Amino acid sequence: MRFNRLSRVEGAAYNSSAREFARGCLEGTRLGVLEDIHGWIRTGGTLLFWLNGVAGTGKSTIAHTIAQHYDSEGSRGASFFFSRDQQARRETRFLFQTIAFQLGNAHPALKLEIARVLEDLSILTSTLRHQFRRLIIDPVAMMGDSFSPAIIVLDALDECEDEDAVLHIIELLIAELADRSLPLKFLVTSRPHIQNVSVDDAAAQFHLPDLRSAMGDFFVLNLNHAERNGHRRSRPDCVLPWSHVNIWTSFRMQQHSAQDPRILLPTHTIQALAPSDTMPYGRCNIVLVNDVDGSGDRTASTGTDRESHTILSEI
């Protein structure tokens, strides 16, 4: 059968033998973030949920819990848990073929649609974007309302050998899922540092429609909040001195004293947090890295409205 021509990665699924000792969250733990994810799954809107955090914060445990929960509920989704411990699981080459294989085995009617698509075997050696569209999006769309909603979990993208994989997959998902109505939801986890993402893609990814104009106000017009009376002065399509940025959602920052630049002040953590019940607008500690090469050697912090030397490191 043509369907079996799909190249799939053994051990990628949440319940594979390669993850024999992997476990989900302990009962009664991580309730807040789990409820956020369940709420996103239950409602309409965006098809992509990106959970990011530094190493050791439980992202994979949460991802395992979600994959296991909806598998046991009969949602019959798919999962790919990246890992540096296995060569095939630290590559993205067969990511979407593996997801298509899992979905097809869980949904017999979808399996037939995917097999029909594979009349053209050149798809198997095409770009990831083309594979995603032809092996997953198109077959699911063809099934219409007969396809029950499914959850796709992609865990630990940062475990890939290719350092650009996180950005590439996130950008691909954003572009291909935008403005689509599909019975699919994608939960993606990774560490927080994203390199060399375009300003407009960053705005879409973090739901910041005025990011470009905000950067224009601060870095081009040199206007702080008081000087612009709380209103954006730059156009949404304004030209910036750079086209791409590096993004950290959590890092350590250390400043020199304003009174004596020879004195280093104690380090502190800058962390952006999403809105929650206790913080309706999230935590607004946001630093824009004003550096052409993205090294972060100099930044402008919205908290101080002044340029300062910094030392940045992931935590």
DSSP annotation of 32 = H
Question: At how many degrees (to 10) do helices 95-106 and 108-117 cross?
Answer: 140
261: number of Cβ within 10 Å: 11
pLDDT value, residue 315: 27
pLDDT in tens, 8-24: 999 999 999 999 989 99
Look up residue 134 and give its two tokens. Answer: 């032809």
Task: Kindly give the residue spans of alpha helices, DSSP state H, lying in the chain.
Answer: 31-42, 59-72, 95-106, 108-117, 128-132, 138-143, 165-177, 199-205, 211-215
Angstrom distance (rounded) from CA 133 to CA 92: 15
Highest-scoring range by mean pLDDT, 89-93, 276-280, 285-289, 300-304: 89-93
Q: Which residue has the higher pLDDT, 257 or 101?
A: 101
Mean pLDDT for the chain?
A: 80
Q: In angstroms, how far apart are the furthest CA atoms of the chain?
A: 74
The answer to which of 70-79, 163-172, 199-208, 258-267 has the lowest mean pLDDT is 258-267
Asked whether residue 292 carries a pLDDT value surpassing 90, the answer given is no
17: number of Cβ within 10 Å: 8
Domains and CATH numbers, the chain: 2-191 (3.40.50), 197-309 (no CATH)
Phi and psi torsions of 158, nearest 5°: -70, -5
Distance of alpha carbon 276 from its chain centroid, rounded? 19
Phi and psi torsions of 252, nearest 5°: -95, 140
pLDDT in tens, 31-68: 989 999 999 999 877 899 988 766 667 899 999 999 99
Side-chain half-sphere CA neighbours of 282 within 13 A = 12
